Structure 1
Amino acid sequence: MDVPVGSTRSIDVGDGRLHVWAAGDAGPTVLLVHGIPTNHLLWHDVVPAVAGAARVLAVDMLGYGDSEPAGRPRVDLAAQAARLVRLLDVLEVDRAVVVGHDLGGGVAQIMATSAADRVAGLGVVDGVCYDGWPVPLVRAMKAAWPVLAQLPPPVLAAGLRPALRTLFAHQDRATAFLDRFVEPWSRPGGPALLARHLRSLDSVYTQTVAPFLPRLTVPAEVVWGRLDHQLKQEYGQRLADDIPGARLTWVDDASHFVPADRPDVVAEAVLRLVARA
């Protein structure tokens, strides 16, 4: 899987190796976290736009993309958040601006509330929150996980493509991103691994941290696609209302995959966080 700038490497965090795309070498560190069933290439067009002002790290959470789990580690949101704090430890990063999409938005909220001294700014882009997830598409997949786990990888990949295509507003941009999102699940073991992720999904994690959002003191940006039919707009508004000083940006011509539909808008929000951090 190609990256337009920077380089990639695999970093040991104890219970596996996280694949990290790094670009830029000056300014605050920005950690970009994808959701399900995507990977670091969700940020393909965002990273180059931010790398001139920050050190950008786009990570594959454990069990996604090119990351390499050791054994059968936990893959729920809390475990992923703790693992990303360990990643910052390994990289000797004291604080980072953390920006997450979908599940990554939930991970970012957990990091900001449970490891507040490590988070210099918080960005949530159509992110899971409160009790508003799993979203309908993922809920349907979760209900079918026993069957999904047994599918031949090419069959799973072929089924994912049309389902994920509905989450783009700009269909002219969808094909390249779909190739990047689906390829890891077409590898041997991909269906069983995706089934593990689906089984781990539980809104208890975001509901647990929700009461602490009003106590955050870091700069915050919330970006939400107006055409997102999976995560309701009310949740974006609620996040912006609950997090003190959060700026809310509505993207009229974006659906769920805002970083793919409108990377320029997402990059602008990240750069505002970088400037404030």
Structure 2
Amino acid sequence: MRTYSEWTASQESTTVDVNGHDLEVAYYEAGAGNGDPVVFLHGIPTNSYLWRHAAPAVAEERHVIAPDMVGYGNSSMFDGFDRSLRAQEIALDGLLDDLGLDAVSLVGHDLGGGVFLRYACHEPDAVEQLVLSNSVAYDSWPIQTITDLGLPESARENSPEDVQGMLDGLFRQTLRGDDHDEEFLEGMKAPWASEEGVTSIVRNAVATNTNHTTEVDPSDVTADTLLLWGTNDEFQPVTWAERLEADIENAELVGLDEANHWVPEDRPEAYVEHLTDFLL
């Protein structure tokens, strides 16, 4: 397991065009192995460090890529570009094209799962395996916390210290248990510790749009699908996973008890075990 600074120091980057904007995408890359590459994608307000346990484990046998979405982590954060799921899908397509990847397996959490759900519906021949973990889908989102954060005055009225305190409280209240890994918390908060970061997280929040999941039909997914879900999630309850399981032909739901929304961090050993059983 790497520290956050080690993780970011190991990242590569490339530039993609998203609706006429040249945006930098930072990504973690590891492994080689057999089979299609496995792409991991986080949600809001996290970054690719969310996968600090899972990505290295999968990289023991598969080629792994874990980008920071545009507007997040070490990817472009300047103001003035679209950060919606539609835009993130375009950025993903640009990244895969730049890396020369025609077929992939996808592992997505939260908004990242929503991006991958769209991509698996739009590019069924390119996706062999799909893993959705506590993902947005249908009209399950945005939650009130994100809606409030996305108010325009939030960018004008909140300092970096305000946002750091808000995020610290959010994670400490919603991660499982009381003994949280401070390195993980630091990794989740660090990208937002500047004026640019404050504006970016607010723009990311305001870009959340229910239409971007309701306009796709999960029954169009043809990939073998694992719904690896924390069953105590108050943000994306497991009932949404049950609906996805019913709508996706080749889907299986595996619920992890004693795991909340941040399931890769709440139950890392169990998460990695089920994930690798499915992917490897």
The 5 A counterparts of 1:251-270 are 251-270=256-275
The 5 A counterparts of 1:145-224 are 145-209=152-216, 211=217, 213-224=218-229
**1:7 is matched by which residue type in structure 2?**
S
Alpha carbons 1:126, 1:231 under 8 Å: kept: yes
The 5 A counterparts of 1:61-210 are 61-69=69-77, 72-142=80-150, 144-209=151-216
Name the CA distance, whole Å, in 2 between partners of 1:40 and 1:205.
Answer: 22
Q: Helix, strand or coil for the counterpart of 2:180?
A: helix
Q: Helix, strand or coil for the counterpart of 1:172?
A: coil
Tell me which residue corresponds to 1:245. 250
Identity of paired residues, percent?
31
Alpha carbons 1:5, 1:23 under 8 Å: kept: no
Aligned residues: 272
Name the CA distance, whole Å, in 1 between partners of 2:123 and 2:6.
Answer: 30
Alpha carbons 1:35, 1:101 under 8 Å: kept: yes
Greater shift in the superposed pair: 6-15 or 241-250: 6-15
Alpha carbons 1:60, 1:66 under 8 Å: kept: yes
Root mean square deviation, CA, Å: 1.9
Tell me which residue corresponds to 1:21. 28
Greater shift in the superposed pair: 104-113 or 161-170: 161-170
Name the CA distance, whole Å, in 2 between partners of 1:118 and 1:6.
Answer: 30
Deviation (angstroms), 1:8: 1.5
Alpha carbons 2:176, 2:258 under 8 Å: kept: yes
Give CA deviations for 1:2-38 in whole Å, capped at 9, x if unaligned: 3469931111113211110011111220100000010
Q: 1:31 to 1:200 in 2, by over 3 A?
A: same
TM-score, L = length of structure 1:
0.92
Structure 2 unaligned spans of 5+: none
Name the CA distance, whole Å, in 2 between partners of 1:100 and 1:127.
Answer: 7
Q: Helix, strand or coil for the counterpart of 2:206?
A: helix
Alpha carbons 2:77, 2:196 under 8 Å: kept: no
Name the CA distance, whole Å, in 1 between partners of 2:185 and 2:169.
Answer: 9
Deviation (angstroms), 1:160: 1.4
Alpha carbons 2:42, 2:110 under 8 Å: kept: yes
Give CA deviations for 1:152-179 in whole Å, capped at 9, x if unaligned: 2122112211022222114323432221
Give CA deviations for 1:22-80 in whole Å, capped at 9, x if unaligned: 11111220100000010000001111211111111111000100002576221100110
* Residue from 39, 44, 53 that aligns with 1:36: 44
Alpha carbons 1:101, 1:126 under 8 Å: kept: yes
Deviation (angstroms), 1:271: 2.4
* Residue from 223, 227, 230 that aligns with 1:225: 230
Name the CA distance, whole Å, in 2 between partners of 1:262 and 1:149.
Answer: 37
